[in-house]
Amino acid sequence: MSAAPPAISTPDPIGPGHRVTLGETLPLHLDCGLDLGPYQVAYCTYGRLNADKSNAILVCHALTGDQHAASTHPVTGKPGWWGTMIGPGKVIDTDRFFIVCANVLGGCMGSTGPKEINPATGQPYGLNFPVITIRDMVNAQAMLLDHLGIRELFCVIGGSMGGMQVLQWAASYPERVFAAVPIASAARHSAQNIAFHEVGRQAIYSDPDWREGGYLAHGVIPKNGLAVARMAAHITYLSEAALHRKFGRNLQNRERITYGFEADFQVESYLRHQGSTFVERFDANSYLYITRAMDYFDLAAQSGGNLANVFKGSKTRFCVVSFTSDWLFPTPENKEIVRALNAAAANVSFVEIETDKGHDAFLLDEPEMFSTLKGFIDGCAEVRGLNGNSSNGARS
Amino acid sequence: MSAAPPAISTPDPIGPGHRVTLGETLPLHLDCGLDLGPYQVAYCTYGRLNADKSNAILVCHALTGDQHAASTHPVTGKPGWWGTMIGPGKVIDTDRFFIVCANVLGGCMGSTGPKEINPATGQPYGLNFPVITIRDMVNAQAMLLDHLGIRELFCVIGGSMGGMQVLQWAASYPERVFAAVPIASAARHSAQNIAFHEVGRQAIYSDPDWREGGYLAHGVIPKNGLAVARMAAHITYLSEAALHRKFGRNLQNRERITYGFEADFQVESYLRHQGSTFVERFDANSYLYITRAMDYFDLAAQSGGNLANVFKGSKTRFCVVSFTSDWLFPTPENKEIVRALNAAAANVSFVEIETDKGHDAFLLDEPEMFSTLKGFIDGCAEVRGLNGNSSNGARS
């Protein structure tokens, strides 16, 4: 049986990053019960690993993010999604730390996911890809770090679904995580968030070009469905105040309403743009799988329903961050994490940042977040003995 | 040219209600500049009009509501959408008042809208129906009341888009409105709400069965797109707290997650049901037109951008109601109405009702709302001289 090349050509998703094949001898045992192997993980690194490999920071990306956190995106040509946070002298200082960011399992930027070729069939996995969980993603990252020879992470950090991975890291590998920073996250996905994800998935299922998940073999992509999913989700990433401030009821390149269904309002034009650009860089089946992984996330359920038990005995230093206008992962859900950590006698600080930018604030220029995280990371680095030039060897 | 019957047969939308043809001699002049006429308005009435025609209450329905406010719905067989409010001895007392509820212009339950036959072509209007506004809907209702011989309304009341119509009535016909009750409403549609509407419209446009609006002639309906639109909108009608209370992360008829894309969670099953039942009773093009009318609503813009000017000199008694957990038409937007009414020296009371039920609270069993509105309506009736049996003649 010869492997048919995917009919949709996409730019190289790896760019200046790397890709490694893992699980060849020992497969990844997934939560669903299946074994996955071999599989691939695509990742980027920034900065240099020091001699004793103690300065590594794992950055975990959100639902539609990827490994290109601080370098130009090879598909869109845009700057990395966390370029504000990662760089020389920045909060996540590439002069001092070695940063690893990996495309999640199930993703579409080079890590094994529904878009990639199933070695067993020579065809894209499509819906034959197993349903994965946040813990599966984290276990795959752990195998990547094993491959890189990094036993302990100085810090694991991420926002939204990235924060879920941070919590799972601290729960699954407490001895490997010195500091953990879950931002705008939750220990379990709420009913409302599952509902929004289900709407997005239904939009994809409804697109005839989805072809029951087999679109790649048919040379089509369900771009309309994926765009609708993105538009619905995008509203939840912002706040009403931010939408009002940015767009209000301003009209798009016209002086009056047209009494029609064109994008009279700027906010409509903005949303349409969000939808149409998203489909250029993201795979619809990946969207299904990753939203499902988030829906399934319920950390307490891994420990008999008691979240504090998950963190019992943890020596990890936590900094939990939330945003006042985030209604997707609102402050009360972040406080639940803090309460559980306190109940587990863990070392935890918590900061709620005042902003009107909504959930996406973690991706934006948010000075109070920068100063909060700089203080926490620098403090942890001092305790970890990472502040001297001699110990990190990363200065050029 | 012979009129092709619509290929989709639908149950009689009129039921025990009425339908009248209006605008035959004098057409309805629409905001878009076109004249509409003749056109039809389908409506229901409850209670009896008194001798001096002073006891009429106009109930205005919301986006997906209709005229069957207090009687069995002829398509779904379900009770009227405001049966909790309207009836003998209820807040809107059918023993004392004569209640009129009309399907809005652009609707799909018998009033002229995109589903109805365009007399000029013998075909369903589809996208040839003119884009209408909340003011157009209200002007059509005013013509219905002229037809019924009712000059002054004792009260105009409605929630959500119904509240927009209430405000427009008070603005356009102040001398015809003795009391006005806009519930969970706004004087203009917010950027976030326009955004959610645009997502719903895009879901409909994306459905190949929409056929550029011409689906009726093709014997199909864009049920997938309309269902996705409904699901996205439905989330906004509830609150996170209500979703958490009703569903949480409860599983649907199973003991554990299935690692698949079936509706594992009750909230998913509930949403899918909301989508699939909605398409049985609602027309996709009507959904486009009515959401557009709401987007276009900006009452202050009708009076130079100053909302207070709209109500200058008004003698109408207002009662503005909002709900604490309503994030679609949150309290601050209702307070904007109150502030403008105060600035216009109008007679206004305002009540924010504590509830976790979200925007849809106005449709639900909400005792504090009932007692608030009963007090307001009874008080107004006393001032209007409607409390004696002799004056209303509606007792049987």
pLDDT tens readout for residues B71-80: 999 999 999 9
Neighbours of B350 (CB within 10 A): 17
pLDDT per residue over B168-183, tens digit each?
A: 999 999 999 999 999 9
Active site (annotated) includes residue B273: no
Select the residue of A131, A198, A240 nearest B190 (Cβ to Cβ): A240
A139 at interface of B, judged by CB pairs closer than 8 A: no
Select the residue of A192, A240, A271 nearest B240 (Cβ to Cβ): A192
Q: Which of B54, B111, B160, B314 is catalytic?
A: B160
A383-392, long-range: CB within 8 Å, 24+ apart, which pairs? A383/A317, A384/A54, A384/A154, A384/A178, A384/A179, A385/A54, A386/A50, A386/A54, A386/A55, A386/A96, A386/A97, A386/A154, A387/A96, A391/A50, A391/A52, A391/A54, A392/A50, A392/A54, A392/A55, A392/A96, A392/A97
Question: pLDDT value at position B387?
Answer: 77
Question: pLDDT value at position B4?
Answer: 45
Q: Which of A189, A192, A264, A276 to mutate to test the interface with B (most CBs of B within 10 A)?
A: A192
Residues of chain B with CATH 3.40.50.1820: 18-188+302-392
Partner-chain contact B190 A261, CB within 8 Å: no
- Do A86 and A94 meet the contact criterion of CB atoms below 8 Å apart? yes
Question: pLDDT value at position A7?
Answer: 45
SS3 at position A183: strand
pLDDT per residue over A189-221, tens digit each?
A: 999 999 999 999 999 999 999 999 999 999 999
Whether complex ipTM tops 0.85: yes
Partner-chain contact B292 A195, CB within 8 Å: no
Contacts of B33 in chain A (CB under 8 A): 259
| CB within 8 Å of chain A, chain B residues 235-264 | 235, 238, 240, 243-244, 246-249, 257, 259-261, 263-264
B211 at interface of A, judged by CB pairs closer than 8 A: no
Give the residue-averaged pLDDT of B28-45. 97
B233 at interface of A, judged by CB pairs closer than 8 A: no
Percentage of chain A exceeding pLDDT 70: 95
Partner-chain contact A199 B231, CB within 8 Å: yes
B19 is in an annotated binding site: no
| CB within 8 Å of chain B, chain A residues 293-312 | 295-296, 298
Give B120: exposed, middle or buried? Use CB within 10 Å, 0-12, 13-18, 19+. exposed
Higher pLDDT, A1 or B207: B207
Q: Closest approach of chain B CAs to the CA of A217, in angstroms? A: 21
Closest by alpha carbon to A295, among A204, A201, A379?
A: A201
Q: Which residue has the tokens 């888009």?
A: B161
Nearest CA in chain A to B270: A195
Question: pLDDT value at position A387?
Answer: 77
3-state SS record for chain B: CCCCCCCCCCCCCCCCCEEEEECCCCCEECCCCCEECCEEEEEEEECCCCCCCCCEEEEECCCCCCCCCCCCCCCCCCCCCCCCCEECCCCEECCCCEEEEECCCCCCCCCCCCCCEECCCCEECHHHCCCCCHHHHHHHHHHHHHHHCCCCEEEEEEECHHHHHHHHHHHHCHHHEEEEEEECCCCECCHHHHHHHHHHHHHHHHCHHHHHHCHHHHCCCCHHHHHHHHHHHHHHHCCHHHHHHHCCCCECCCCCCCCCCCCCEHHHHHHHHHHHHHHHHCCHHHHHHHHHHHHHCEHHHHHCCCHHHHCCCCCCEEEEEEECCCCCCCHHHHHHHHHHHHHCCCEEEEEEECCCCCHHHHHCCCHHHHHHHHHHHHHHHHHHCCCCHHHHCCCC
Question: pLDDT value at position A161?
Answer: 98
Is pLDDT of B98 > 90? yes
Question: pLDDT value at position A349?
Answer: 98
Question: pLDDT value at position A392?
Answer: 43
Nearest CA in chain B to A247: B191
Is pLDDT of A2 > 50? no
B230 is in an annotated binding site: yes
B117 at interface of A, judged by CB pairs closer than 8 A: no
Closest by alpha carbon to B69, among B84, B88, B54?
A: B84
- Do B323 and B288 meet the contact criterion of CB atoms below 8 Å apart? no
pLDDT per residue over A82-133, tens digit each?
A: 999 999 999 999 999 999 999 999 999 999 999 999 988 999 999 999 999 9
Partner-chain contact A243 B275, CB within 8 Å: no
Question: pLDDT value at position A224?
Answer: 98
> Looking at domain B18-188+302-392, which CATH architecture does it have?
3-Layer(aba) Sandwich (3.40)
Give the residue-averaged pLDDT of B59-76. 97
Percentage of chain B exceeding pLDDT 90: 93
Count of CB contacts below 8 A, A vs B?
Answer: 156
Q: How far apart are CA B79 and CA B249, in angstroms?
A: 30
Residues of chain A with CATH 3.40.50.1820: 18-189+303-392
Partner-chain contact B261 A292, CB within 8 Å: yes
Is pLDDT of A395 > 70? no
Question: pLDDT value at position A12?
Answer: 85
Is pLDDT of B126 > 70? yes
Residues of chain A with CATH 1.10.1740.110: 194-291
CATH of B194-291, one of 1.10.1740.110, 1.10.3660.10, 3.20.20.100, 3.40.190.10: 1.10.1740.110
* Confidence at B10, pLDDT banded by 50, 70, 90: low
**Dihedral sign computed on CA atoms, order B151, B155, B158, B164:** positive
Mean pLDDT, chain B, whole residue set: 95
Active site (annotated) includes residue B209: no
A128 at interface of B, judged by CB pairs closer than 8 A: no
Q: How far apart are CA A216 and CA A126, in angstroms?
A: 8
Is pLDDT of B388 > 80? no
The answer as to CATH 3.40.50.1820 being correct for domain A18-189+303-392 is: yes
Could you tell me the maximum CA-CA distance found in chain A, to the nearest angstrom? 68
pLDDT per residue over B159-170, tens digit each?
A: 999 999 999 999
Partner-chain contact A206 B208, CB within 8 Å: no
Q: Which of A160, A239, A314, A325 is catalytic?
A: A160
Question: pLDDT value at position A389?
Answer: 47
Partner-chain contact B131 A259, CB within 8 Å: yes
Is pLDDT of B69 > 50? yes
Question: pLDDT value at position A173?
Answer: 98
Question: pLDDT value at position B12?
Answer: 85
Q: How far apart are CA A3 and CA A8, in angstroms?
A: 14
Q: Closest approach of chain B CAs to the CA of A182, in angstroms? A: 22
Is pLDDT of A247 > 60? yes
Active site (annotated) includes residue A295: no
pLDDT per residue over A141-159, tens digit each?
A: 999 999 999 999 999 999 9
Question: pLDDT value at position A378?
Answer: 97
Q: How far apart are CA B189 and CA B168, in angstroms?
A: 13
